[in-house]
Amino acid sequence: MPKAIIYDTTLRDGSQGEGISYSVRDKVLIARELDRLGVHFVEAGWPGSNPKDMEFFLTMGKNPLRKAELVAFSMTRRPQVKAQDDSNIKALVRSQVKAAAIVGKTWDLHVRDVLKVSLDENLEMIRDTVSYLVSKGLKIFYDAEHFFDAYAHNREYAMRCLLAAQEAGASAICLCDTNGGSLTSRIQEIVSHVRPQVTVLLGIHCHNDAGLAVANSIAAVEAGADMVQGTMNGYGERCGNADLVPIIANLKLKLQYDCITDAQLAALTKASHYISEVSNMVLRSDQPYVGASSFAHKGGMHINAVMKNPVSYEHVDPALVGNHRRMLLSELGGKTGILLRARDLELDLGKDDPKTRKILKLIQKLEHEGYHFEAAEASFELLMKKALKKYKRFFELEGFRVVIEKRSDKKITSEAIIKLKVKGNREHTAAEGDGPVNALDNALRKALKDFYPTLSKMHLSDFKVRVLDEKNGTAAKVRVLIQSQDDKDIWNTIGVSENIIEASWQALLDSVEYKLLKDNA
C-alpha cells in the first residue's frame, strides 16, 4: 500500500483566511485535534512575525503533541544578511521547534521585481538559510513559492532553487501553486518531471483560486508527490487552500493510500466540525464527505433506491468518515421519507395507511406556503405526532401582546405579556427583552419555569429570517428558523407568516414544545 504524508497548515496558512483569528488557546485545541486525527505534521505559525505564535510554540514545547510533529514557518534570510543574524531565523531557533518550513523565492520574476536581488543571491539565501537551520538540528521543509509559475517561465532557474535547498540539507521540497491558478493536467505533468530530480520527500501545496486545489493535490500525489499540504475545511487566504478533508478521504478510500488509520478516518467528520467551531466559521452543509448534506437524500426516487441499495446514490459508506445518511422531509420525498421518519420515531405507520397520505398532503400544502421541513426536523416531528394524535399539549396559549417602545433617551425596549393555561393553572406574565422575539421567549419561560424547570437548560443558539416573496415588500411572507440547544441536543424549528412576530412565535413555540416532549418522553 503506497503511503502519503499529511501536512496541515490550518494554524498558519489557514489563519490568513478572512474572518479567522486564533488565540493561543484556539491553536492548542486545534493542534491536539489534528494530532488525534492522525495528521503527520502540524504547521502552526510564524514565531518571527508575532508574539502570539512564539507563545504558542513555547507553550507546546512544555506539553508536546503525542505523535504529530509541530512545524514552525519562516522565510529565507534577508538579502545581504547572514542566516544566523536574521531576526526571523533567530526567532525560529528561539521557538525550540524541531522542524521548520522555509519559504523561498523560486520564480525569477519575484526575485527581480519583489526581492530586487540577483538570481545568484537568491540561491545563496536559500542555501545559507537551510544549511544553518540544519546545523542547529532542525528538520527543514523548503516551500518553493510560486513553483508552477516559475517552472513555466524559467524552468532551469526554478529547478536550481529546488536543488539548492536539497543540497543544503532540506528533508523535503514542497512545490507550491501559490496563486492557485494552475490546471490539473499541468500540475501532474510538472510533478512527474520534477520527481526524478528530487531525492528527498516531495510535497504539494495548492491554493484554490481556480477551484482545483483538491484535484491538483490528488493529481500531484498520483504523479509522485509523497506529502500533501493543506488546511482543514479549506481555510486560507483569498479562495482558500487545498481542503485536507476530501483529500484525506479520497487518498484513503479511492486510491487506497496509507495516510491515516481507519479509526482516524471515522473521526474525520467530528474533526472537521470541531475545527469549524473553534475557528468560529460556519461549516458548509454541502462540504464533501463531512457536511450535513453530504449523504442527504430528498427526492422520493433517490430515497426509495437508497433504501434498497445505498450504492445506488452514495459513492462511499458515510460511516467510513464518521457521517451518516439523512432522508430529507419535503414534498419531493413522497411517502418513503415519511415512513422512514415514522420508523425513527417508533410510530406505527404503513405505506397504504390513509394517515400517511394525509401527512404527505399536509406537508405538500405547508411547503407550498413556505415551510421547509428538511431544515426543521423538530417541527416535523411535532407535526407528525399531532397528525397521528400522539401528542399531548403541555400548555395552552390564551394570548400574547408585544409592545415596542422608543424612549426619550433613544433606547428601544421590547416587552411581551403572555397568558397561558398550564396544568390547570392560569399564568399571566410579562418580560422585557433585547427585541420582541427575545421578550416573548423570556415571558414564555417565566410562565413555565415552575412547571417545567428543565427549560432553564435550553437556549436559542441561532435565529434566521428569510423573506419569501420580496415583490410584496413589507407585506411579504417570511420564514423564521430557530436553532435551540441544551446540554445534550441541538434542534431546529420553523414558522411562516406575513407577520414576523407570528412566524417567530410559531418557531419559538415548537422549540419549547420539542424540548418538553423529549424531556418527558
Per-residue pLDDT of 24-78, as tens digits, reads 999 999 999 999 999 999 999 999 999 999 999 999 999 999 999 999 999 999 9
3-class DSSP state of 114: helix
Please state, in angstroms and rounded to a whole number, the distance separating the CA atoms of residues 275 and 262: 20
- Report the pLDDT value the prediction gives residue 346, as an integer from 0 to 100: 61
User: What are the tens digits of pLDDT across the range 86-141?
Assistant: 999 999 999 999 999 999 999 999 999 999 999 999 999 999 999 999 999 999 99
Q: What is the rounded CA–CA span in Å between residue 132 and residue 124? A: 12
Q: What is the DSSP letter of 260?
A: S
Per-residue pLDDT tens for 420-459? 999 989 999 999 988 899 999 999 999 999 999 999 888 8
CATH 3.30.160 given to domain 395-451: yes
Which pLDDT value is given to residue 365?
Answer: 80
Percentage of the chain modeled with pLDDT above 90: 66
Q: List, in sequence order, every beta strand (DSSP E) within 23-79.
A: 41-43, 69-75
pLDDT in tens, 313-358: 889 999 999 998 776 655 445 566 666 666 666 666 666 677 777 7
* Average pLDDT score, the chain: 90
Stretch 168-173: mean pLDDT, rounded? 98
Cα distance between residue 271 and residue 175, in whole Å: 27
Taking the alpha carbons at both ends of the chain, their separation in whole angstroms is 50
Q: How many CB atoms lie under 10 A from the CB of residue 42? A: 28
* Cβ contact 433:412 at 8 Å: no
Coil, helix or strand at residue 111: helix
Q: Which amino acid is at 53?
A: D
* Per-position DSSP letters for 290-321, written without gaps between them: TSTTTTEE-SHHHHHHHHH-GGGT-SS-GGGG
Does the pLDDT of residue 477 top 90, yes or no? Answer: no
Domains 5-260 and 395-451 share a fold: no
CA angle 11, 12, 14 (to 5 degrees): 75
Say if CB 160 and CB 126 are below 8 A apart: no
List pLDDT tens digits, range 357-398: 777 777 778 877 878 776 788 888 888 888 777 788 899 999
CATH of 5-260, one of 3.65.10.10, 3.40.50.300, 3.20.20.70, 3.40.50.150: 3.20.20.70
Backbone region of residue 238 per phi and psi (left: phi > 0; alpha: psi in -120 to 50; beta: other values)? left
**Residue ranges covered by each domain of the chain:** 5-260, 296-387, 395-451
Q: Cβ–Cβ contacts within 10 Å for residue 365, how many? A: 11
* 83 CB-near residues (< 8 Å, 6+ apart): 77, 89, 128, 129, 131, 132, 133
